[in-house]
Amino acid sequence: MPSKICIIGAGAAGLVTAKHAIKDGHQVEIFEQTDKVGGTWVYSEEIGCHSSMYKNLKTNLPKQCLEFENVPYPDGLPSFLPHENVLEYLENYSKEILIFFNTKVINVTREGEKWKVTTSTYSAESEFVHYYDVVFVCNGHFFEPFNPFENAEFEGEMLHSHDYRRAEHFEGKKVVIVGAGPSGIDITLQVAMTARQVTLIGTHAVFPVVLPGTVRQIPTHVKSIYPENIITDEGENITADVIIVCTGYKYKFPFLNPSLIQLKHNSQIVSPLKGKLPDDIQNFEENRLKTAKSPQDFHVLVEEQWDYMKELAEMGGFEKLDRMEAIRKLFVYVVEEQKRNPIGYKMQNFEWSDSEMEFRKIDSNCALTFDE
């Protein structure tokens, strides 16, 4: 029997959820708080908004890992895409989906056998109540910065990577970047083109290739930030004009009542719906905390994601995707390339083999099959 479905957010997750639900004959409505589809892929010069997009961002993974099923990117595009291409892809994919733009979800609660969803629009002061059989929460998790140093009394400029937009802003300055994850590395390479000096601090801030000459890599943690300087765990004193904090994001669901879902460990862990196999959930969370490096890594799956996706696909009754193993191999290859060559790995391009069951790396007009 068809269900009436609410989807919160018109980013990539919300759009693909809608397409599958519509295909199965359900009635679908999406609420999007902005005036565009794309979520975090919508670039804006404005800071403090929902988007973390910066001007020269390219995808961390090749397009072959990002495509929706049976919806390839247009021919002629590189494997590592500028954000504009991703947004255009999502815009085209969203056609024929009913989306209520400039509509904010205020509250979601259970009422009898239905979900009661309260919304408001920016053009009206009134609130509107809707009832659904199913609610999908697709509001993303790259909009609420996690900054462990937000209370530091630094007298220079300090910003989270969420508010980084372009490297020109840091011309001639001494910049310290805290965090050597994908965003930290990417921003380091960009800022190094304009800044007088860049210091990258993070436990993974050591690479087998030489970074641009203005970059200094320090594989450690920041212990304290003072008005004029930074102190590392080893006691090194570093001065800076600007600190860019690349320490990830918190989860945030402002429309969900705490009785439905919990955010633990400084909003780094999302605890599942209450009343759903509580003993199993508690055991899972305890075991996950033991194996995760920190609460911030609780939801980071990396290699485990493939078994997780397989389990979800089986639960959802989806047909087996024959290409999944090839996509997994490409993912593993690119992750290792990121570590080996953070400067050049995005210049590589890939294509499907003739059998469409393997990828080939294209190098100097020669097609090479790569090993895992």
Residues 52 and 9 occupy one common structural domain: yes
Q: What is the reported pLDDT for 210?
A: 74
Mean pLDDT of 135-154: 93
Q: Is residue 149 part of a domain?
A: no
Q: Is residue 305 part of a domain?
A: no
Q: Is residue 164 part of a domain?
A: yes
Residues 254 and 220 occupy one common structural domain: no
Mean pLDDT of 233-243: 96
Q: Is residue 267 part of a domain?
A: no
Give the CA dihedral 21, 24, 28, 34, nearest 10 degrees.
30
Report the alpha-carbon distance of residue 216 to residue 200 in Å, rounded: 6
Give DSSP secondary structure letters for 246-291. Answer: ---B----TTB-TTT-EEETTTTEEEPPTTSSHHHHHHHHHHHHHH
pLDDT at 267 over 70: no
Report the alpha-carbon distance of residue 90 to residue 97 in Å, rounded: 12
pLDDT digits (tens, 9 = 90+) for 327-372: 999 999 999 999 889 999 999 999 988 777 788 888 634 444 444 4
Q: What is the reported pLDDT for 364?
A: 38
Residues 122 and 182 occupy one common structural domain: no
Mean pLDDT of 120-147: 92
Helix (H, G, I), strand (E, B) or coil at 239: strand
Q: Which range of residues forms the domain containing residue 67?
A: 4-143+250-260
Number of other residues whose CB lies within 10 A of the CB of residue 67: 14
Report the alpha-carbon distance of residue 100 to residue 258 in Å, rounded: 26
Residues 38 and 94 occupy one common structural domain: yes
Classify residue 26 by burial, with Cβ atoms within 10 Å: 0-12, 13-18, 19+: middle
Q: Which of 213, 245, 277 is the last residue of a domain?
A: 245
Q: Which of 162, 140, 163 is nearest to 11 (CA)?
A: 140
The pTM of this model reads: 0.88
Q: What is the reported pLDDT for 281?
A: 65
Q: Is residue 314 part of a domain?
A: no
Q: What is the reported pLDDT for 296?
A: 66
Give the CA dihedral 13, 19, 23, 27, nearest 10 degrees.
90
Q: Is residue 283 part of a domain?
A: no
Residues 171 and 113 occupy one common structural domain: no
Residues 129 and 176 occupy one common structural domain: no
Report the alpha-carbon distance of residue 363 to residue 304 in Å, rounded: 30
pLDDT digits (tens, 9 = 90+) for 83-120: 999 999 999 999 989 999 999 999 999 999 999 999 99
* CB contact at 8 A, 240 and 230: yes
Residues 93 and 162 occupy one common structural domain: no
Total number of domains constituting the chain:
3
| Tokens encoding 233 | 């765990």
pLDDT at 277 over 70: no
* CB contact at 8 A, 108 and 115: yes
Residues 6+ apart with CB under 8 A from 62: 79, 80, 330, 334, 348, 349, 350
Residues 15 and 89 occupy one common structural domain: yes
Residues 136 and 193 occupy one common structural domain: no
Q: What is the reported pLDDT for 49?
A: 86
Residues 25 and 136 occupy one common structural domain: yes
Q: Is residue 360 part of a domain?
A: yes
Q: Which of 222, 245, 268 is the last residue of a domain?
A: 245
- Our CA angle for 279, 280, 283, nearest 5°, is 85
- Our CA angle for 112, 113, 116, nearest 5°, is 70
Q: Is residue 308 part of a domain?
A: no
pLDDT digits (tens, 9 = 90+) for 349-358: 999 887 777 8
Residues 109 and 174 occupy one common structural domain: no
E-strand stretches of 122-178: 127-132, 134-137, 157-160, 174-178
Residues 203 and 133 occupy one common structural domain: no
Identify the CATH number of the domain in which residue 166 sits: 3.50.50.60
